[in-house]
Structure 1
Amino acid sequence: MLLLLVIGMSALVEILGASPAVDSQPRPQVIRYDLDTDNMPNSYKYHYDASDGSSRTEHGAMVDSGKGEMALDVLGAVRWYDEKGHLFEMTYKAGKRGYRTIIKMLS
């Protein structure tokens, strides 16, 4: 569980540290960040909002796989704006059935 949290945090740093396509644009800054690990190792959740309007929300929980084994089940969503100002959202789910994503243009 801790490994997944570290991987998630690494991905956050990578996303926010990525060089923008236009060098004159300022790098996005995290303006809100919430992390709830009170129920670790059974579950976690986090959320961040960035100054460029992007955001990410994720929560994970250990669930019974149906075979008497515990497995991590993760749900999340990432939002971002493209260079034309269109808002996109990718929702994802990871668990015993694999990793699935859906990407939609919201505006």
Structure 2
Amino acid sequence: MKLLIALCLVSAAVAVPLYDDVKVLRYDNDNIGTGSYSYQFELSDGTKQEQVGELKNEGVVGQAEVVRGSYSWVAPDGYNYIVTYVADELGYRSTIEKGTKRF
């Protein structure tokens, strides 16, 4: 029984992915807390994200916040996946695209 528990712990430790070497390659943030904003970042493991938000019809009936952006990552199958989205008064809409194989 002790051997089984020890083997389970060892296999769990080996299965945990190592992310210690992931570095931030780029980070930009333009947000003063009011009005429009934007941010983007890129990591050395291939993860990227960018987003822009703005107020539509500010100060009038029908005012809504509009957010546009995308994020991507390299999946375990080696392919880069990209999600592009818009969120506004019509709801959240997104598309996903399977990109090129990274490794």
Question: TM-score of the superposition, structure 2-length normalised?
Answer: 0.72
1:48 to 20, 41, 53: 41
Please tell me the root mean square deviation across aligned C-alpha atoms, in Å: 1.9
How far, CA to CA, are the matches of 1:32 and 1:43 in structure 2?
A: 21
Counterpart-to-counterpart distance in 2, 1:45 and 1:32: 14
Q: CA deviation at 1:99?
A: 0.4
Matches within 5 A, 1:23-62: 23-27=16-20, 28-38=22-32, 40-62=33-55
> Aligned residue pairs: how many?
84
Distance in 2 of aligned mates of 1:80 and 1:24: 15
% identity of equivalent residues: 29
Displacement, 1:42? 1.5
Pick the structure with greater CA Rg.
2
Question: What is the rounded CA distance, in whole Å, between the counterparts of 1:68 and 1:42 in structure 2?
Answer: 17
User: CA distance change for structure 1 residues 68 and 34 in 2, over 3 Å: closer, same or farther?
Assistant: same
Residue deviations 1:38-89, cap 9 Å, x none? 5x42100000001211100000000018x62421000000010011210100
TM-score by length of 1: 0.69
